[in-house]
Amino acid sequence: MPVPEALTALAKILGDRLSRSKSDLDLHGRNETYFPFAPPDAVAYPETTEEVAAIARICAQHDCPMTGWGAGTSLEGHALPVRGGISVDFSRMNRVLQVNPQDMDCVVQPGVTREALNQELRATGLFFPVDPGANASLGGMACTRASGTTAVRYGTMRDNVLGLEAVLADGRVIRTGTRARKSAAGYDLTGLFVGAEGTLGLITELTLKLQGQPEAISAAVCAFDEIGPAVETVIETIQMGIPMARIEFVDAATAAAVNAYSGASFPEMPHLMVEFHGSEAGVAEQAESFGALVGEHGGHGFDWSSRPEDRNALWAMRHNAYYACLAARKGATALVTDLCVPISRLAEAVEETRADIAAATIPGPILGHVGDGNFHAILLVEPGNTAELDEAKALSHRMVERALRMGGTATGEHGIGMGKLGYMDKEHGAAWDVMGALKQALDPKDLMNPGKMVRQG
Ligand SMILES: Cc1cc2nc3c(=O)[nH]c(=O)nc-3n(C[C@H](O)[C@H](O)[C@H](O)COP(=O)(O)OP(=O)(O)OC[C@H]3O[C@@H](n4cnc5c(N)ncnc54)[C@H](O)[C@@H]3O)c2cc1C
């Protein structure tokens, strides 16, 4: 067994920052959703890039798998060390190294969370816009190519990482990208590592684009009798070029769950929640144009506000929607689906999904970042009930098939992890083999987050 030898060598450089405590192994073997417990053999807590490089060299020497760990909030079992070895937990690499207000960028270690970064940026008038709801680490967000409520305006991690530093499987340290806003110099290795889910290397530093805090923000919420007109409103808003910063959809079941969880009093109907960023006059005008579209599609209760307390309450409820849905079925665990279709097919995709879930025996509230054509069903299953889990998987499978048929993708933002591996062939065809060739070139021993992303031998 090579792993014990690796652990002995790792303990020499990390001391008590190589942990084999039961609580550490338990924490790093669990995930947010339904994937079975898969603990590592040990958890490493590096503090510098040099330590990460030394860890990789030792693991390479002893064929010991290494799987990165940010905040552990990924939803497809991404960070589970399914072949054992070590979890490399980046929580101690949590420093903001540079903020460059003039260039509107910053350099961070991967363990900085998005909330911590925005806290640190408060006095600068800048903010980092990618918002997956969970207080994820920026390294983890880069690895899953995360997005969330604001991607419709500011893009995903793909659009917001200018460059990065990574430790490869053999311990080499590379830098990709620069602080320049654009570059035509060679292959886009930044783009390759963003979304690679830690299968090509461990990310040890990120250079991120920042945005100016808008002068004014307005937010609005409105209800619809049916899902169709709500989604049609989104499509027309986009087609008219009204610049939304967020536009979120929740169905009647999610509204009911949020009421029960957060003490809110939304009518139990489909809702749109929307936010505009700009000048005082701009956001007022945008909110009014949007309100007119809502009226045309039979929406009601439209009310907008630019008061921060109203806005914060609205988005806090939206961000808690996952936990509200979980709480709607006592003791349940969730299979969280995630698909994305071209915007013109969104209404059809949501309606078909809703009808499919209505015919099932398990509940599945629907919500999503509809401005990108991206939505989720939170399929609630009783832990240990294999019939229910199978039903949830079958529903999720049909959702993915539907998305692919419509020219969309198996995952808009959550990523592949363990849950979506089975769709890579269908979505990418021969391009999936090219991904395998890249993995083989960079990690020939399959030590970086093995069991994920590429065809399994
Ligand atoms: C309530 C809730 C809501 C969510 N909403 C959204 C949403 O709206 N949009 C969205 O995109 N996601 C969403 N997510 C999913 C999750 O927040 C994202 O996937 C996030 O990017 C994961 O970041 P993390 O720090 O938790 O990473 P982890 O879960 O710790 O890791 C994710 C992957 O990255 C790898 N990894 C982590 N750090 C490194 C590193 N430094 N180097 C190499 N590999 C590394 C891990 O091995 C794993 O493969 C949500 C999750 C929850 C619980």
Per-residue pLDDT at 1 exceeds 60: no
Residue 110, ligand 1, Cβ within 6 A: yes
For residues 264 and 319, is the Cβ–Cβ distance under 8 A?
A: no
27 CA distance to ligand 1 centroid (A)?
15
How would residue 317 be classed by pLDDT, with cut points 50, 70 and 90?
A: confident
336 CA distance to ligand 1 centroid (A)?
14
Residue 75, ligand 1, Cβ within 6 A: yes
Residue 277, ligand 1, Cβ within 6 A: no
Residue 28, ligand 1, Cβ within 6 A: no
With CA atoms as reference, report the closest residue to 144 among 190, 90, 193: 193
105 CA distance to ligand 1 centroid (A)?
22
Contacts of 113 (CB under 8 A, 6+ apart): 71, 94, 135, 136, 137, 138
Per-residue pLDDT at 310 exceeds 90: no
Mean of the per-residue pLDDT values for the chain?
Answer: 95
pLDDT in tens, 229-252: 998 999 999 989 999 999 999 999
Q: How far apart are CA 162 and CA 68, in angstroms?
A: 21
Compute the average pLDDT of residues 445-452. Answer: 98
How would residue 2 be classed by pLDDT, with cut points 50, 70 and 90?
A: low
Q: Report the residue among 66, 69, 315, 340 best suited for mutation to probe ligand 1: largest number of ligand atoms under 8 A from its CB.
A: 69
Atom of ligand 1 nearest to the CA of 320: 1
Compute the average pLDDT of residues 176-189. Answer: 96
399 CA distance to ligand 1 centroid (A)?
22
Task: At 397, give phi and psi (nearest 5°).
Answer: -60, -45
Q: How much of the chain, in percent, has pLDDT values that exceed 70?
A: 100
Q: What's the pLDDT at 304? A: 82
Residue 72, ligand 1, Cβ within 6 A: yes
Q: Note the pTM of the prediction, 2 decimals.
A: 0.95
Q: Measuring from atom 27 of ligand 1, which residue has the nearest CA?
A: 140
370 CA distance to ligand 1 centroid (A)?
20
Residue 29, ligand 1, Cβ within 6 A: no
CA terminus-to-terminus distance, the chain: 21
Q: What's the pLDDT at 121? A: 98
Beta-sheet pairing, 18-19 with 42-44: antiparallel
Beta strand spans in 297-409 (E):
300-305, 333-336, 339-340, 366-369, 374-381
Q: What's the pLDDT at 274? A: 94
Q: 169: exposed, middle or buried (C-beta count within 10 Å: 0-12, 13-18, 19+)?
A: buried
Residue 137, ligand 1, Cβ within 6 A: yes
Residue 33, ligand 1, Cβ within 6 A: no
214 CA distance to ligand 1 centroid (A)?
27
Least confident window among 103-117, 307-321, 333-347: 307-321
222 CA distance to ligand 1 centroid (A)?
30
Compute the average pLDDT of residues 377-403. Answer: 97
